[in-house]
Amino acid sequence: MSAPQVSVIIPVYNEEEGLPALFARLYPALDRLNRDYEVIFINDGSRDRSAALLREQFQQRPDVTRVILLNGNFGQHMAIMAGFEHANGNHVVTLDADLQNPPEEIGKLLEKLDEGYDYIGSIRRLRQDSWWRRKASRAMNWLRERITRVKMTDQGCMMRAYDRAIIDAINRSREVNTFIPALGYTFARNPVEIEVGHEERAAGESKYSLYKLIRLNFDLMTAFSSMPLQMFSLFGMAISVLSALFFVFLMIRRLIVGPEAHGLFTLFAILFFLIGIALFGIGLLGEYVGRIYEQVRRRPRYLVQAVLEQTQE
Ligand code: UDP
Ligand code: MG
């Protein structure tokens, strides 16, 4: 049996309500493409019936379906990572299980890969987001591009396609806490972004809260650049120079004006400001130390409980 042309990777976490609809649209869409394909579902420790539904689907289409059952909840990106390590396809597409990315669009991504691009990002068309949300995500993107050099117009869209070379590079990196599209982008030689359709979540609810979104952006900056640290030390230097000048100024004033206690609150204000910056700096250092800690423990990034696949004769 030869390797399929396309592997479709889908992480699944508590998606029992949406899975039947996904199966009903995904397989016909892939069959229409006329390419050899495999679908790899990764059950990320779902606590509902998702695993059972995946097992049933495997029994229905064992020729093109593989199911990886993880031992617990390791997060969307580690689940995708597990999928990548099992993927045989020459082209690899990632997709969410909630039908927010229509499977009918997979063909468009693959055509772009055929044109010679090795990383196909996607931008959701017709998003019904509020004005300030669009502005906020613009500003976030601008900042991230400056800091990490990762260009990603729409970081919320996981429907992406990668060439084999990028998947191999991702498989070789041992990052623990990562964001797959950004990691893929750093290895891309010839990336491109296209517009894809976007739908409301068909069923179930989003697993991402506002807090998680903020965390994600923080992770993106610290995972793909040490520039925040460098900026912080530059900033610290500037502040120390200013403080030194201020000190000289106060000393001279002491000699000319004599002892005085006015402006005490101004001094406090300056002090609190500096303490704030110092605390932020410690926090920032902590982000990096935390990453180093996770990395040096070298624990397995995910544990596979079982893999459902057809034995290949
Ligand atoms: N997911 C996962 N593990 C998790 C959280 C999410 O595998 O811990 C999967 C989820 O089943 C879905 C995809 O990752 O297929 C994206 O999740 P979700 O739709 O909740 O995110 P959003 O679309 O809101 O960004
Ligand atoms: Mg979603």
CB 103 within 8 A of CB 6: no
Alpha-carbon distance of 68 to 45, in angstroms, equals 10
Is 145 contained in some domain? yes
Q: How far is the CA of 12 from the centre of ligand 1 (A)?
A: 7
Q: 75: Cβ below 6 Å to ligand 1? A: yes
The SS3 of residue 11 is strand
**Which ligand is nearest the CA of 11, by number?**
1
Residue-wise pLDDT tens digits, 189-203:
999 999 998 887 766
Give residue 69's pLDDT: 98
Give residue 236's pLDDT: 85
Task: Summarize the confidence of residues 136-150 as an average pLDDT.
Answer: 87
Average pLDDT, the chain: 90
Query: Does 142 share its domain with 237?
Result: no
Q: Which helix (H) or strand (E) holds 245?
A: helix 227-257
CB 119 within 8 A of CB 184: yes
Is 113 contained in some domain? yes
The SS3 of residue 93 is strand
Give residue 309's pLDDT: 93
Q: 206: Cβ below 6 Å to ligand 1? A: yes
Give residue 207's pLDDT: 62
Range of the domain at 200: 6-225+300-308
Query: Does 214 share its domain with 249?
Result: no
Task: Summarize the confidence of residues 122-129 as an average pLDDT.
Answer: 77
Query: Does 286 share its domain with 179?
Result: no
Give residue 229's pLDDT: 87
Is 313 contained in some domain? no
Chain Cα centroid distance, residue 207:
14
Residue-wise pLDDT tens digits, 23-48:
999 999 999 999 999 999 999 999 99
Query: Does 142 share its domain with 269?
Result: no
Query: Does 104 share its domain with 243?
Result: no
Q: How far is the CA of 11 from the centre of ligand 1 (A)?
A: 7
Residue-wise pLDDT tens digits, 60-88:
999 999 999 999 999 999 999 999 999 99
Residue-wise pLDDT tens digits, 255-276:
998 888 887 888 888 888 888 8
Q: How far is the CA of 5 from the centre of ligand 2 (A)?
A: 26
Q: How far is the CA of 224 from the centre of ligand 2 (A)?
A: 24
Q: 79: Cβ below 6 Å to ligand 1? A: yes
User: Which of these, 103, 67, 65, 59, lies nearest to 83 by C-alpha position?
Assistant: 67
Residue nearest to atom 2 of ligand 1 (CA): 76
Query: Does 169 share its domain with 82?
Result: yes
Q: pTM value?
A: 0.87
Is 1 contained in some domain? no
121 strand-pairing partners: 193
Distance (Å) of CA 57 to CA 68, 78, 284, 300: 13, 23, 45, 28
Domain harbouring 171, CATH code? 3.90.550.10
Does the pLDDT of residue 1 top 60, yes or no? no
Residue-wise pLDDT tens digits, 80-121:
999 999 999 999 999 999 888 899 999 999 999 999 999 999
Q: 96: Cβ below 6 Å to ligand 1? A: yes
Task: Summarize the confidence of residues 280-302 as an average pLDDT.
Answer: 90
Query: Does 144 share its domain with 188?
Result: yes
Query: Does 212 share its domain with 231?
Result: no
User: Which of these, 38, 39, 49, 64, lies nearest to 13 by C-alpha position?
Assistant: 49
Does the pLDDT of residue 155 top 80, yes or no? yes
Q: 204: Cβ below 6 Å to ligand 1? A: no
Count of domains observed in the chain: 2
